[in-house]
Amino acid sequence: MSAPEQPDIDLTRRTEPLSFSEIALALGLSSRGTAHKWHKPPLQAAMGGKAPTNKPPLHAVAEALGSPLGPEVLESTRPRFPVEVVLALGKALGYLDADGRIVEEIRTKGRGRWLPAAPTTDPATKGRRVYINHLAQALGIRNESVEQSLARGTFTKPDGTDEIDRIFWWAATANTILANAKAPHRF
């Protein structure tokens, strides 16, 4: 007999902070380990035990929202994160849609680090971020073709990286790329 499936956590109605397990449920993650890594990524052995140079995603989003995390989160062995931070991170990474609901692709495929099904929203600027898969589809080519063109330096450089280091272009840049290629789609 298998354990009953736990219901999703609706972040649009939730008011109390979330644990790692609750973040995993709210975003459709397979385990709480990913949420933990978004708070404290593992130390890199190659870096002599030093912490990574980038802020962990949960911290970066909290900062972008102007919601600093206090010692009750940063120094706790059982931290709980504000709903608005988890909701914004879920949208920024593409785990949640614009309404704060789990993206169906997450529910059916349950993948970890993936390219989001739709453009995401930057927590700080609220700008739309377009990823390789979105541009490739709009251009009628494969993701690998964009990646190869980037490596050769023949594709427009990305505008930045998101909270888990996936490259993206702002919607305006993506639309310029598409206009130059005479592709009909726009973001």
Q: Which parts of 7-56 are beta strand (E)?
A: none
In the block, tokens 């993701």 appear at: 143
pLDDT in single tens digits along all 187 residues of the chain: 444 455 578 899 999 999 999 999 999 888 899 899 999 865 655 556 565 567 899 999 999 999 889 998 988 989 999 999 999 999 999 999 889 988 877 665 545 457 898 999 999 999 999 999 999 999 999 999 999 999 999 999 999 999 988 999 999 999 999 999 999 999 9
* Beta-carbon-side half-sphere exposure of residue 46 (alpha carbons within 13 Å): 1
- DSSP assignment of 123-145, as one string? TTT--EEE-HHHHHHHHTS-HHH
Angle CA(27)–CA(33)–CA(34) in degrees, nearest 5?
Answer: 50
- Other Cβ atoms closer than 10 A to 125: 10
Q: What is the pLDDT of residues 65-102, one digit of tens each?
A: 998 899 989 889 899 999 999 999 999 999 998 899 88
